[in-house]
Structure 1
Amino acid sequence: MKTYIAILICLLLLITGMMAQERKMEPWDAKAEVKYKKRLAEVKEEIWGWKQAGFKNRTVPAEYAKESAVVLAKHTELTTPDKDRELHRSFRALVAINDKAALEEYSEFTFKQYETLSSWYPLEPFDKMTKVIYMGARIFKKDGGTREIYSDEAVVTEVNRRSHKTRKLAIPDLQIGDLIEYFVREEKFINHNTAYTEEIFVLGEEEPVLEYSVHVSAWEEVFALEYRSMNGAPNFKQKIADHMLQLDMLVKNVPPQPVSLWMNPFRQIPMLRVHLRVGVRREKLGRRKEGTIYSNPNALKTRDEAVAGIVGMRNATSSSTLPFLGEVWDNVKRFKKENKNVTDEELTHYIYYLIRYMGLYRVNPQDAIVVDQRRNWAGLSEINFLRYVNYMLVKNDIDADFVLATPRYGPAQNEVFEADDFRVMLKTVGKKPVYMSAEGIFSNTDYIPAEFEGQKAPLVNGGPKEDGIKGNVEIPYSDASKNRQVENMKISFAKDDLQQLKIDRTSSASGHFKRPLQQKLLLYEDYYDAERQALGIKQSFMEEFADSKRNRSLADEYRNAFDKARKDVKESFLDEVKEQFDISPESLDGYKVLKMGLRHNVPEIAYNTNFTMNGYIKKAGSNYIIDAGRLIGPQMSIKPSQRERKADIYMSFARSFEYNIEFQIPEGYTLEGADKLARNVDNECGSFVVTTKQAEGKLTVNVKKIYKNSFAPAAKWPQLLEMVDAAEAFQQQKILLKKA
């Protein structure tokens, strides 16, 4: 667990990252480019000189002839070429291009030529705070010809202070049936005594791999190596020779996996995780001794390291380590005085939201003025926030435990590799526990992040009396009805142009769908004031500034910033409409947030938009054809290669979608074809049900799509496929607006 003394809001870093501006050519650019070209020549000679046998192969096995692409060979090296803590990561692959999709994928590569490794340092190519990337490719044509292209020929697509140059390397004249062989080399320095690099070697991807080899080499006087093989992956062959720690692996005939479609690589695909660490003279709590190779560390020992981190931080928490504690206590005492019969559950909610407010909502005079959508991404250190909440619960005689969970898309607890594989929640003790997490500025009590659902997790006592694990808990799953998106649309036709739709839309989202919409659509001015009043804090920071001679001008600056943010938020609503309908509206005539969903007792965000949309209606003589199915937005399409499946299905969470669409039929017309919209697919895994009703000049269409579980065994794949196919087929459905 990473330890810090106080909770900090990293708004300055946030602003720095988001406001990076384009710059003019720096004086060292020309010199750096000369050095880059020289080093590139050395790198390509080294990598093309590797002797792995798989790179001599030019034949795709018959069993993979219909695959989009086939990786004939790939090799990865992680090496430290000298004792100066320089690190080289090299990757080389040879790929057969079998169809148009693969041709598009491999026809260009985007990469950052230079990238600073610290937000505190300006970028200087080839210094010890910069990562440099080299790339090259060569094409083997069907007629026997070859062509080579390298990263110094790539087109610059972006120039800024943080990444210096983002380049795009186009691969000209690549055709179906060709082979492309390419490499990527990253060179950087490890700069801190506690630093390490983590590598993951995954033995499974969308394309079949005929041969995959890995080599790791590090100076024994400086580094330690450790690794874990997971999900049945082989162990490395290891040795120490010529003052180098070495790991090697070779696997052949790795079958393709539907990695991009509902898979959980950390739980399903063989992989190896490697740490290359700067060693220390003695071992303690996750540190490693130089000159040593550690293989498959004991998972229980790793868990105990994580537990010890929590216990140590909990025991170190005191009034001297918690910021704004006096204000927190004053508000808690006032709340208890005003609510004589307050329950432990009510007090828990109040303490949580109060500390969230103090850390993320309130403003100090010295703070940078950030009141637009950037603020919506602010967050706090997970462990620091929760230990603060726990401290206040303990002081108010409320028992709680720290929940030590591994996320669903991380390693299982019996295959953890480091203490940071664990994440933390807080849970009160009792028949109706309150779960608390640190998901950012809109985090609620009684909310469990999707990544923790269904995990079995140790409980660490939150009170000062006991150390270590006191038991385990199985974190509950959320039901599909709790993670819900609802669209209510009233659709009419423009009087002067029946090919234009006028849409009055009210949308809502709850559960795991809520946070992204809050980040996109909410304004700080609104949620700050709502939370301040809910917590009973009488004076706003604007009023405090206005009452202060020193800070009075700040109040005017904030008013101007609030006005600008309110004007600019229209673009966010436009983007939201475009994302839902996959097309930009012709005009956005109204937008308004109805509910912000800031607390557990307001479980949804709701908002209204009014807009005009083109592109859904085609004229056919005196009639009009309406793409009614497209009004529910883009639907998933399963590729032919994905229709047969042997892997279990891991989805983010159970979820439901509902669309209530009301068409106002224009005078002088009738609607035909509504009966063809109806669908009724309902099974153990999901459902897609469409019903229609036509009366009094209106057509009402109700669409419900439900993914009933977040996990399904591979044997149930046909049921999910049936539901997904039904939704895709509905999207193609049309109705006819016929002249009466």
Structure 2
Amino acid sequence: MKRGILLFVFTSILQLSFAQKDLERKLKQMHWDNAGPEFRQMKAPDRWKNESAVILATRIDYLGSFGRVRKSFTENIVIHYRVLLQDKASVREYSELTFNKNKITTNLIGKTNAYSFVAIKIVKPDGKEKEMDLTSAVKTDIGSEKDSKMAVPDLDQGDIIDFFIAIQSKDSEAPNITESDLLEEKYPVVYKQIRFVVPRQIRFNSKSFRGAPEFIKNQQGKDNIYTLIDTMRGRAPEILWDFPHRSSAEVRYKITNGKAVVHEDEALVARDALQNFDYNNQDIRYIEDFVHQISGKGKSQSAIVKEIYYLLRSPIFQKAYFNIEQGSPMDNHYVSERFFFLLNKYMKRYNIDHEIMIVPSRNYGPFCDLVNMSSCDLLLKVGKDSGFYLSRPTPFSIPGEIPYLFEGMEAVLAGYPKSITSSRINEQIPVSHKESNLTYSRYNLCFDSSDLFKVKVKRDVTAKGNNKAYHQYLIFTNHDYLREYDKPQYQSFSYSELKALVNEYSYLREKSEQQTDQENYERDRRVEVDIELELDTKISEYKNLTIKSAGMWEDMPDTEYSDEFIIDNATKKAGKNYILEVGKFIEKQTELSEEQLQRDRDIHMGFARTFNSEIMILIPEGYIVEGIDNLNINVSNAYGGFISAALLEQNKLVIKTSKYYTQNHCSAADWPYMVSFLNAAVKFSKSRILLKKL
């Protein structure tokens, strides 16, 4: 019996080995030996001779086919690149490759059933080719367990790296595929082809944007062939405030089984998806138990819903409903759609007016431009016209706050009870204003009388709205967060399983107490590095970080903190006098390169916002200040501005600045208006004052 098993295993290994070698030979012949002329090119066009690398050719092929009597569907995908390396930077980039190791599986009679295969060769300038031996690759942990990496030795400028990835898979039915392809890549592309060969029963729909070519349809036997060819495409530009999927040449396509219902407008898909809330069977006993504990305090329905929001954001209920571990709440885990179903179920049961919405993201565009809903998310609106929104909870989110990527977009909605939205099915999401997203920084500077090179700094920071998140993750620790939920209403429940989670929370909170010193040390170093980066200086003796408000509760919605530090070399000696680079205290500014001054793409920013600073400098005894007039600047227009004013009050110099952006979007034609106040802020950031010895 054992001999029979061993013989079967040995025979299977031989079959696998022979099948793999035969497959490798066929794939290399197809994609290397029989490749089109574009994959034999050796030189880049003259216009791109100064680029780091040039993609001479790239091709993506998708071949789908049904098995006998349509009981299975086979997909063959090949991605092929030929890249000319023109400088040391691109040589370094390709000197180590990460890929998915070759794999092949067969059925019992030795016929290839599925595979993934990678082949790489180096082409020298004289045409000599060297194929890479992938058996020398080592496994990595950067992706799946199959990921491998290998060094590419003897790679030089002028070499070409030519590689392809071939994948075959089988399933019981044809898949539904939606994809978005940006035609611009990191390097210029001489020739690009995307081709789909699918049975006529398969539907193919595509949309081309911003100068991208269309797919051309042809027929071959029982198949339809859709081909897109793009040539001489420049590299993706490195520009500020860009949503590539709203500004670059792009094709979006959808492949669907002929049986599937296909909507041209994804808004109709969204409306269908919202019908799932009509069949909501979520268990809300835990929520009702919590509400029972707090309902005797005369709270309104809206207030109760907000309390439920905070509950579902808590470590205990993140574990109870979303299976998210309690110990690291700052990791910003993804909360599933169950959150919306839970709230919807509660509000329907207790007759609270609300609407469920699906909203497309600004960085992909409105529903009419989409081919899938991967860029969309759900929102809840509690109440009618003057109601408030609830988004998917993150560690610091507050009821009423809207993720900025959904601001201004038109949502599809369904209301409960049904009668409240009988006359409308869409809503435009509000847009936050510059006053709502504000950072205020106050610096108090005092010189060391014995050493005027040193400046003692006391800082106070307040952040509001969308400006908060940066500061919250900078100054808060897991221990701080767990302590925020150490409140009676989040620890008193009737159900034994919740009591067990409360005990787990208490254990983890106490455990975090033991790690407080280390967490605080790491946090202080993090803040210290941030200050040095923003002020472009070195600091010492960082201390007394005091968090006045985390900004995670509605009654204290702003993030507020203060700290102290010393700048050891704040001034430069000029004879008997000292020079202070006072402009640095408005923190790091956006300095545009010559290339960035010209722009032909719209500006897509996160949100309108304001940054206010107040710098108070105590003038050392025996000195006066010169250069104050240079600190007064006023550049403002419809898109934003930078304003600064300096005033000497006895022995104290007070400087106030405000930099603001009025909108989250600006057309390319209006970019010069933004440049004007951006440059004004940069100019101020380089300002100096002279402390002149009397």
Structure 1 length-normalised TM: 0.74
Unaligned runs of 5+ in 2: 1-18, 68-72, 104-112
Deviations 1:61-120 (A, max 9, x none): 56x78x7568464323144699896764524254685xxxx8646642465344999xxx
1:317 and 2:280 are equivalent in the alignment: yes
Shifted more, 588-597 versus 108-117: the winner is 108-117
What residue is the counterpart of 1:200 in the other structure?
180
Give 1:400 deviation, angstroms. 1.0
Question: For 1:686 and 1:517, how far apart are their aligned partners in 2?
Answer: 23
Q: Tell me which amino acid in the other structure corresponds to 1:252.
A: T
Sort the Cα spacing of 1:596 and 1:566 in 2 relative to 1 into closer, same or farther, 3 A.
farther
Shifted more, 79-88 versus 236-245: the winner is 79-88
The answer to whether the 8 A contact 1:225-1:274 is kept is no
What residue is the counterpart of 1:228 in the other structure?
206
Shifted more, 482-491 versus 416-425: the winner is 416-425
Out of 272, 276, 287, the residue aligned to residue 308 of structure 1 is 272
Out of 356, 371, 381, the residue aligned to residue 327 of structure 2 is 371
Question: For 1:551 and 1:413, how far apart are their aligned partners in 2?
Answer: 43
What residue is the counterpart of 1:77 in the other structure?
60
SS in structure 2 of the partner of residue 108 of structure 1 = helix
The answer to whether the 8 A contact 1:581-1:631 is kept is no
1:332 and 2:291 are equivalent in the alignment: yes
1:347 and 2:330 are equivalent in the alignment: no
Out of 447, 451, 461, the residue aligned to residue 405 of structure 2 is 451
Question: For 2:137 and 2:450, how far apart are their aligned partners in 1?
Answer: 48
What residue is the counterpart of 2:377 in the other structure?
423
Give 1:602 deviation, angstroms. 2.7
1:392 and 2:351 are equivalent in the alignment: no
Question: For 1:196 and 1:586, how far apart are their aligned partners in 2?
Answer: 58
Sort the Cα spacing of 1:334 and 1:59 in 2 relative to 1 into closer, same or farther, 3 A.
closer
Question: For 1:205 and 1:112, how far apart are their aligned partners in 2?
Answer: 18
What residue is the counterpart of 1:649 in the other structure?
603
What residue is the counterpart of 1:56 in the other structure?
41
1:261 and 2:235 are equivalent in the alignment: no
What residue is the counterpart of 2:16 in the other structure?
none
What residue is the counterpart of 1:125 in the other structure?
none
The answer to whether the 8 A contact 2:324-2:333 is kept is no
Q: How many pairs were matched up?
A: 655
Out of 537, 541, 562, the residue aligned to residue 489 of structure 2 is 537
The answer to whether the 8 A contact 1:581-1:630 is kept is no
Out of 212, 225, 239, the residue aligned to residue 192 of structure 2 is 212
Unaligned runs of 5+ in 1: 1-34, 118-127, 286-296
Give 1:425 deviation, angstroms. 0.6
Question: For 1:501 and 1:132, how far apart are their aligned partners in 2?
Answer: 62
What residue is the counterpart of 1:692 in the other structure?
646
What residue is the counterpart of 2:98 in the other structure?
112
Give 1:597 deviation, angstroms. 1.2
Out of 63, 74, 81, the residue aligned to residue 92 of structure 1 is 81
SS in structure 2 of the partner of residue 675 of structure 1 = helix
Give 1:601 deviation, angstroms. 3.9
Sort the Cα spacing of 1:271 and 1:331 in 2 relative to 1 into closer, same or farther, 3 A.
same
Question: For 1:40 and 1:699, how far apart are their aligned partners in 2?
Answer: 75
Question: For 1:132 and 1:619, how far apart are their aligned partners in 2?
Answer: 66
Question: For 2:390 and 2:641, how far apart are their aligned partners in 1?
Answer: 32
Deviations 1:470-494 (A, max 9, x none): 4211111100111112221222345
The answer to whether the 8 A contact 1:597-1:605 is kept is yes
Question: For 2:100 and 2:365, how far apart are their aligned partners in 1?
Answer: 32
C-alpha root-mean-square deviation of aligned residues, in Å?
4.6
Q: Tell me which amino acid in the other structure corresponds to 2:511.
A: N
Question: For 1:95 and 1:470, how far apart are their aligned partners in 2?
Answer: 55
Question: For 1:739 and 1:643, how far apart are their aligned partners in 2?
Answer: 41
Question: For 1:368 and 1:44, how far apart are their aligned partners in 2?
Answer: 46
Give 1:136 deviation, angstroms. 5.7
Shifted more, 349-358 versus 508-517: the winner is 349-358
Out of 365, 380, 401, the residue aligned to residue 335 of structure 2 is 380
Q: Tell me which amino acid in the other structure corresponds to 2:291.
A: V
What residue is the counterpart of 1:299 in the other structure?
264
Question: For 1:528 and 1:470, how far apart are their aligned partners in 2?
Answer: 42
Deviations 1:434-473 (A, max 9, x none): 1111042322211111111111222212336799994211
Sort the Cα spacing of 1:452 and 1:356 in 2 relative to 1 into closer, same or farther, 3 A.
same
What residue is the counterpart of 2:439 in the other structure?
485
1:250 and 2:229 are equivalent in the alignment: yes
Out of 452, 458, 468, the residue aligned to residue 514 of structure 1 is 468
Q: Tell me which amino acid in the other structure corresponds to 1:283.
A: K
Alignment of 1:433-444 (within 5 A): 433-444=387-398
Q: Tell me which amino acid in the other structure corresponds to 1:317.
A: N
Query: Larger C-alpha radius of gyration, 1 or 2?
Result: 2
Deviations 1:554-598 (A, max 9, x none): 855641233314531432343244235416643422323211111
Deviations 1:507-542 (A, max 9, x none): 222212223433343344444454564xx617479x
Question: For 1:661 and 1:426, how far apart are their aligned partners in 2?
Answer: 42
Question: For 2:289 and 2:672, how far apart are their aligned partners in 1?
Answer: 59
Q: Tell me which amino acid in the other structure corresponds to 1:338.
A: K
Sort the Cα spacing of 1:615 and 1:45 in 2 relative to 1 into closer, same or farther, 3 A.
farther
The answer to whether the 8 A contact 1:153-1:169 is kept is no
Sort the Cα spacing of 1:358 and 1:627 in 2 relative to 1 into closer, same or farther, 3 A.
closer
Question: For 1:276 and 1:505, how far apart are their aligned partners in 2?
Answer: 56
Out of 564, 571, 578, the residue aligned to residue 529 of structure 2 is 578
Give 1:503 deviation, angstroms. 2.5
SS in structure 1 of the partner of residue 295 of structure 2 = helix
The answer to whether the 8 A contact 1:210-1:252 is kept is yes
Give 1:691 deviation, angstroms. 1.8
Question: For 1:614 and 1:269, how far apart are their aligned partners in 2?
Answer: 47
Out of 502, 510, 516, the residue aligned to residue 559 of structure 1 is 510
1:283 and 2:259 are equivalent in the alignment: yes
Deviations 1:676-732 (A, max 9, x none): 333221111111122222334333222211111111122211101112222223333
The answer to whether the 8 A contact 1:360-1:378 is kept is no
Question: For 1:491 and 1:186, how far apart are their aligned partners in 2?
Answer: 63
Give 1:260 deviation, angstroms. 3.5
Question: For 1:360 and 1:224, how far apart are their aligned partners in 2?
Answer: 44
Sequence identity (%): 19
Q: Tell me which amino acid in the other structure corresponds to 2:230.
A: V
The answer to whether the 8 A contact 1:654-1:707 is kept is yes
What residue is the counterpart of 2:8 in the other structure?
none
Question: For 2:173 and 2:291, how far apart are their aligned partners in 1?
Answer: 43
What residue is the counterpart of 2:629 in the other structure?
675
The answer to whether the 8 A contact 1:60-1:96 is kept is no
SS in structure 2 of the partner of residue 688 of structure 1 = strand
1:357 and 2:319 are equivalent in the alignment: no
